[in-house]
Amino acid sequence: MNLDKNKVVVGMSGGVDSSVAACILKKQGYNVIGVTMQVWPDIEEEYENSGGCCGLSAVDDARRVADQLQIPFYVMNFKDIFEKKVIQYFINDYKRGRTPNPCIACNKFIKFDELLRRANQLGAYYVATGHYAKIIYDIETHQYRIKKSKAAGKDQTYALYHFTQEQLAHTLMPLGDFETKDDVRKIASEMGFINAYKPDSQEICFVKNNDYGNFIEKNEPEAIEPGDFVDTAGRILGRHRGIVHYTIGQRKGLEIALGKRSYVTEIRPESNQVVLGENEDVFGIELMAEDVNFLYSQDFNKSIHVKAQIRYNAVASDAIVYPLEKNCIKVVFKNPQRAITPGQAVVFYQDDLLLGGGTITSKVR
């Protein structure tokens, strides 16, 4: 297939970041095509009215920006793959007692995999997004690398550890050199974009009001099975509403009175139990992870010192990564970490360079 290196498909969510990304690439001389990925189910009006990247209002905003930029714009149907790779994964992980990160799954399977295939079908060599991250080419190693965005408070590299070298070679992220979100909004305002001051989405795009328990109950009511709260010694403390309503470190919304502050320290899907303990019980210094991906061809068959981050807004901390069999690792932190949560990602850095990451399976006792 002959691909045009001057042609780029920009995933336009209707937000200001992807709009400015499209604007920048056009000014740089690229032949830009705007695409919004339709992922919402036909029967769900709540998605259609959503203000996030799944709603029809997002399509309208993206189309208006594309019209202003005078670039082609398409809405592409991604509903089936989104249902399978993101929504069903999200539900299944909660049923397993995990706390999934659907944005990472969306990036991995939708934006930088399926969208890239669709872009190639249009003859485009590149896909581009409004992520705050930098993709660079290392001429010494002949490999692509991902570095943290200059806008430290907006950096999104945590959700990008899954990239392959082939995908990196065909991806552009033009916002990586911006130092603040205000700088991006300023460009949008100067261009007269309707979404210049559109608020950032703070919720999971397909979960209304961020009520994931209700979402799972609506889609798979059999997944909601009440069970026992137990303490760390296994003594029954009361009844819970179903393990999908809880996550590690949770204190609020437990709906149980124990005369003291209690925290979720473990979720046991095999016995349908939620373990409650003290705040100190939430901390851990070691974890196990699976489905590990390193972005670069290096010798990761031995332990390496890294900065490891265990959730999107967490601070990366000193740790050592030990390789295990079957694409698994053990991570040992220098200092205890709060709420090591199965289902979340653990991501590794050296300085501002993203090395890779994996999915947390357990906190080592």
- Nearest alpha carbon to residue 347 among 101, 110, 140: 101
Binding-site residues from annotation for ATP: 11-18, 37, 130
Q: Are strands 133-138 and 31-38 parallel, antiparallel or unpaired?
A: unpaired
43, pLDDT greater than 70: no
Q: Which amino acids are annotated catalytic?
A: 106, 205
Confidence of residue 35 (pLDDT cuts 50, 70, 90): very high
Radius of gyration of the chain (CA): 22
> Could you tell me the pTM of the whole model?
0.93
> What mean pLDDT value characterizes the chain?
92
What value does the mean pLDDT take over residues 188-208? 88
Helix (H) or strand (E) holding 346: strand 345-350
Cα 252 from chain centroid? Answer: 24
Q: Residue 157, Cβ neighbours under 10 Å: how many?
A: 23
Cα 363 from chain centroid? Answer: 21
Q: Which domains does the chain have, with CATH numbers?
A: 4-191 (3.40.50.620), 225-277 (2.30.30), 284-364 (2.40.30.10)
Summarised one tens digit per residue, pLDDT across range 122-133 is: 999 999 999 999
Binding-site residues from annotation: 11-18, 37, 130
What value does the mean pLDDT take over residues 255-284? 96
